[in-house]
Copies of this chain bind each other. A is one copy, B any other.
Amino acid sequence: MSEAAVRQRIEDWAKAFRARDIDAILSVYAPGIVSFDIGPPLRYAGADDKRRAWKAAFAAYAGSIECLVTELNVATDGELAFAHSLNHVKGTLSGGDTSDLWLRWTACFRHIDDEWQIVHDHVSVPADLQQGTALEDLAPWGASA
Contacts and interface: CB of A to CB of B under 8 A. Distances in A.
Contact of A42 (B99, B104, B132): B104
Dominant SS among interface residues on chain A: strand
Interface in A33-89: 34, 36-43, 60, 71, 73, 75-82, 84, 86
Contact of A138 (B40, B73, B120): B40
A94 B137 CA distance: 27
B124 A36 contact: yes
Interface residues of A, number: 48
Nearest to A71: B43
Given A124-B124, A134-B134, A43 B142 contact: no
Given A34-B73, A133-B132, A134-B127, A102 B42 contact: yes
Contact of A120 (B41, B80, B84): B84
A16 interface: no
Contacts of A129: 38-39, 60, 99, 101, 125, 134, 136
